[in-house]
Structure 1
Amino acid sequence: MIVGTAGHIDHGKTTLVHALTGVDTDRLPEEKARGISIELGYAYLDVPGHDQRLGFIDVPGHEKLVHTMLAGASGIDFALLLVAADDGVMPQTREHLAVLSLLSLTHGAVALTKVDRAEPGRVAALTDEVRSLLAGTGLDAAPIVPVSATTGEGVASLRELLFDAARRLPPRHVHGLAPRLAVDRAFTLDGVGTVVTGTLHAGEIAVGDELVLAGRSARVRSLHAQNRVVERAQAGQRCAVALAGIAKDEAPRGAWLTAPHVALTTDRFDAELRLWPGEEKPLRSGARVHLHLGAQSVMASVAVLDAEAIEPGGSARVQLVCHGGVGAWRGDRLVLRDAGATRTVAGGLVLDPFAPARYRRTPERLDELAACALPTPTRRRERLLSLLTGGLDLARFAQAEGLAEPMHGWALGDAASAALTQRLLATLADFHARQPDELGPDAARLRRLVAPRMAEALWRQVLADLRATGRVAVRGAFVHLPEHGVQLSATEQRIAQKVAPRLAAAGAEGAWARDLAKDCAEPEPLMRATLARLAQQGELHQVVKDLYLDHATATSLAATVRRLAGEHGHVAAAAFRDATGLGRKRAIQILEHFDRVGLLRRVGDEHRLRADSTLFTPEAG
């Protein structure tokens, strides 16, 4: 169990920790000289009769050092709030209590310190004042223990209270989550190298693990947990991790040591936020704040998503736009201080580290955030699958959750899959009705018509599944309904054999249906019908009515288009004309045909290549 001390400066935090553990947590010369804690200090105490060790984080009380206090507070299990009997409740007492409450801490106690200096009756009066102060916080039922580190009064009782809390505290969830350690210190030891310390928020770390810190790979060389040499550490423990492959200056405070597949940095995320009841004004969109998450601090701007503002004591969902990258995983606790860093204003819970910049307030998006707030990864995944018509990226889901096992691919919920299939089949039927002489749209064009925001990988998976079950047919890059583009009759096959060499000879100029009918000595209506059927099957391409190119010629022209687009960023009619030797009219007709089928798109006088189109490529066949 990690115990975090909190309270106003000079209320005896370090002295009490020393009395409880025998360890002086003031370790810096400057701290010794000034008599106050500047950095986080640590001490440990074994729990009798129990395979557990208490870790104490002694945090600074000075107002200017609250950011350091926050770096330690996010990893604690049990809050020990100190109030000196001679001073009483002071400004940092209130702010530290706000931090603990906004971090949703419900396990804790209050130590009334320096009771040996108190006047008769003072302890009872202060106990009532503190009990009133705790009302409405997560620590409102916390025991209040009078102690004196100088005389020893109450120290044994407080120590036993901590032991009892450690025995009853449910263990942190370890299984199923990847390791994540928030770095609050880094230093170098002779013969060891770089060492980082911090609280392990989730999962387990073992000697030999390959992890990631601030974008760099690092191997765990050796490991201390709760101040003991161990081979493996688990969530909830204070750890010192010796790392190979990384220098001290590459491990800043606030960085996260994580498993590679869950490492992430985001500059915007969505969260559930609660405004401290003591605030005088509502929190509105556009407010600038100091964000504290893990051991990191960064400036951020608030966008309230589902209300005009957050009233004091109220909650709402927000998007935090950070002025720098942060590590944030679903379920992580955060605290906000005002722009001037003078007071703690709000606390909350990360809902989605991959927040969108657009459509962030739509009802659909708010439903997704409600799903992100459900209590277990399984329930969150099931609900998101039922909501996301564009599918769920499983790798990103596992990353946001910090799951131990990587996930791959995409998933689509049953209802979303059924709706998508219905929409896709209806779109193909409509396409065939409007353009019966074409085989069908290519896969990229069909995605733009049916599901433009769906990831290409999931779209390919959907098409493959529909093809496997016979719902659609795919020929080259083109998708069509199975009943569209049926086999040629014997007469049509005979005519196709006649026109093939003539179309090849015509090249990029193409051949007209009436000329082919005359050259092949076939009735013009039969020739038109056969050419339409060949175009329907993807063997020919109708540039304008009754003018056809064979597939090899169209593929060659498409290659020229891609080359020109690569050289100039677009395809101009004049450049295409010069590259092909065609007349201006025919060049424009062919470019407009490529616009229609989805190889190009018209932007003003320019034709621009669609990056997602596989038309007329070897991949398309």
Structure 2
Amino acid sequence: MSTVIIGVLGAQSCGKTALVRTMSGEDTDRRKDEKERGLSIEPGFAVLETENSKQLSLADLPGHDKYMRHLLAGLSGVTTVLLLIAADQGVMPQTREHLAICRILGMQQGGIVISGIDRVEPDLLSMVMEEVPEFVRGSFLQGAPVFPLSSVTGEGVAPLRSWLVEVVAASAEAKGTSPFRMTVDRTFTLPDGGIVATGAVLAGRITSGESLLLFPKMAPVRVNGLQVHRREVKEAMQGSRVAVNLHGVEETMIERGDVLATPGCLSPSHILDVDFSYLADNSEPFRNRTAVRVHLGAAELAGHIVLLEDEELGPGNRAAAQLFWRSRWGPGRVTAFWCGATRRRLSWVVA
């Protein structure tokens, strides 16, 4: 069965988890500390069935800036986004940042949700609705559908559900001809001692019984079993959220950010060639060989960046560069990196 992953983004407390719960019946805040604090820390996933043999997976992504690395990890495999704007908040700084992330990652499709319309007067709702077109002008969300709704009363939820079903129906069927690749975003141990790794299938397909390599450890593993949204399956294809029961790996050998892939398709390296875009809102030029924290898939790595032509790069400019990090890693999409000393976000790059 094919799956389409929809990323649900927005500022803290804009109603993402409540919307996912209303649409799916699942509470994606499963951790004790998430429930105690009333905010999402890890990405949560819920499934909606459609009538065309495809599944729709809703990825409830953290809104707090402190958990940005978790949001970036949760965007792996996402092809369509829902950007939430709370009717009683309007466009927040985090909203702008999330839209910028999606633009850099090359997202092409999405919708806008105005949440919590039951909490505001019509005049305030109208003001927020009028703010949206200017906010998304020039982005992939320009002209996207806008859904004012309430997760409490259910008003406006049906049109959003219908649109999501249309998105799933129109999605291209994954061919699964490329080598398999999946970034591990969570691991846990079964009562019988089995090790399970979860993540989104970024390319190809995975089948029960096949042999894979765990990168960057280069450890051979075998697939004992597969689940997609708690259902046993024989195979999973690109776009699916999958739990992989692994044989041949110890609990201490696998961690968040590792990559499961077809043997021979990746070559771990200390160096990655990148197209470096330095954010325009930075106040100082980027200096060559600055220490950075790199977000690659679900991993966060320490390293530094080397400009290939100049010693400095001004805000709003781009250049060819190389990323160097301390441990070997496989090729992939670099989503963000930070100044190692101040944690100030420096840039978004694509490898």
- TM-score under structure 1 normalisation? 0.53
Query: How far, CA to CA, are the matches of 2:143 and 2:279 in structure 1?
Result: 19
- Residue 552 of structure 1 corresponds to none
How many percent of aligned residue pairs carry the same amino acid? 36
- Residue 77 of structure 1 corresponds to 79
In the TM superposition, residue 66 of structure 1 has moved relative to its aligned partner by 0.8
Query: How far, CA to CA, are the matches of 1:287 and 1:139 in structure 2?
Result: 34
Spell out the pairing of 1:30-69 with structure 2 (5 A cutoff). 30-48=33-51, 50-69=52-71
In the TM superposition, residue 203 of structure 1 has moved relative to its aligned partner by 0.8
- Residue 236 of structure 2 corresponds to 233
Q: Which amino acid aligns with 2:93?
A: P
Structure number with the higher helix fraction is 1
Find out whether 1:196 has 2:189 as its counterpart: no
Q: Which amino acid aligns with 2:39?
A: I
Report the secondary structure of 1:260's partner residue: coil
In the TM superposition, residue 103 of structure 1 has moved relative to its aligned partner by 1.0
- Residue 336 of structure 2 corresponds to 335
Query: How far, CA to CA, are the matches of 1:236 and 1:44 in structure 2?
Result: 13
- Residue 285 of structure 1 corresponds to 288
Q: Which amino acid aligns with 2:337?
A: L
Residue among 187, 205, 218 paired with 1:215? 218
In the TM superposition, residue 172 of structure 1 has moved relative to its aligned partner by 4.6
In the TM superposition, residue 7 of structure 1 has moved relative to its aligned partner by 1.3
- Residue 167 of structure 2 corresponds to 165
Deviations 1:338-362 (A, max 9, x none): 4357554432322xxxxxxxxxxxx
Query: How far, CA to CA, are the matches of 1:108 and 1:344 in structure 2?
Result: 25
Spell out the pairing of 1:339-350 with structure 2 (5 A cutoff). 339=340, 342=343, 344-350=345-351
Once the two structures are overlaid, the 10-residue window that deviates more, 64-73 or 260-269, is 260-269
- Residue 279 of structure 2 corresponds to 276
Report the secondary structure of 2:122's partner residue: coil
Residue among 7, 10, 13 paired with 2:10? 7
Q: Which amino acid aligns with 1:295?
A: A
In the TM superposition, residue 209 of structure 1 has moved relative to its aligned partner by 0.8
Deviations 1:87-122 (A, max 9, x none): 222232222222222111121112111111122222
Q: Which amino acid aligns with 2:29?
A: D
Check the 8 A contact 2:72/2:335 in 1, yes or no. no
Find out whether 1:18 has 2:18 as its counterpart: no
CA shift in 2, pair 1:293/1:276, >3 Å: same
Report the secondary structure of 2:185's partner residue: strand
What is the aligned residue count?
Answer: 346
CA shift in 2, pair 1:44/1:179, >3 Å: same
**Structure with the greater alpha carbon radius of gyration:** 1
Query: How far, CA to CA, are the matches of 1:272 and 1:173 in structure 2?
Result: 28
- TM-score under structure 2 normalisation? 0.91
Query: How far, CA to CA, are the matches of 1:276 and 1:321 in structure 2?
Result: 20
Residue among 31, 37, 49 paired with 1:28? 31
The gaps in structure 2 that reach 5 residues or longer are: none
- Residue 142 of structure 2 corresponds to 140
Query: How far, CA to CA, are the matches of 1:110 and 1:276 in structure 2?
Result: 24
Check the 8 A contact 2:288/2:310 in 1, yes or no. no
Find out whether 1:105 has 2:104 as its counterpart: no
In the TM superposition, residue 82 of structure 1 has moved relative to its aligned partner by 1.2
In the TM superposition, residue 260 of structure 1 has moved relative to its aligned partner by 1.8
Query: How far, CA to CA, are the matches of 2:105 and 2:329 in structure 1?
Result: 18
- Residue 205 of structure 1 corresponds to 206
Q: Which amino acid aligns with 2:202?
A: H
Query: How far, CA to CA, are the matches of 1:290 and 1:99 in structure 2?
Result: 16
Check the 8 A contact 2:291/2:341 in 1, yes or no. no
Find out whether 1:180 has 2:156 as its counterpart: no
In the TM superposition, residue 333 of structure 1 has moved relative to its aligned partner by 4.8
Q: Which amino acid aligns with 1:275?
A: Y
CA shift in 2, pair 1:82/1:242, >3 Å: same
Query: How far, CA to CA, are the matches of 1:231 and 1:305 in structure 2?
Result: 47
CA shift in 2, pair 1:339/1:197, >3 Å: same
Query: How far, CA to CA, are the matches of 1:245 and 1:168 in structure 2?
Result: 39
In the TM superposition, residue 308 of structure 1 has moved relative to its aligned partner by 5.7
In the TM superposition, residue 335 of structure 1 has moved relative to its aligned partner by 2.3
Query: How far, CA to CA, are the matches of 1:73 and 1:202 in structure 2?
Result: 14
Structure number with the higher strand fraction is 2
Q: Which amino acid aligns with 2:41?
A: I
Q: Which has the higher contact order (CA 8 A, sep 6+)?
A: 2
Spell out the pairing of 1:112-127 with structure 2 (5 A cutoff). 112-127=114-129
Q: Which amino acid aligns with 2:148?
A: P
Query: How far, CA to CA, are the matches of 2:310 and 2:176 in structure 1?
Result: 36
Check the 8 A contact 1:12/1:82 in 2, yes or no. yes
Deviations 1:116-161 (A, max 9, x none): 1122222232223233222333333332211110011111111111
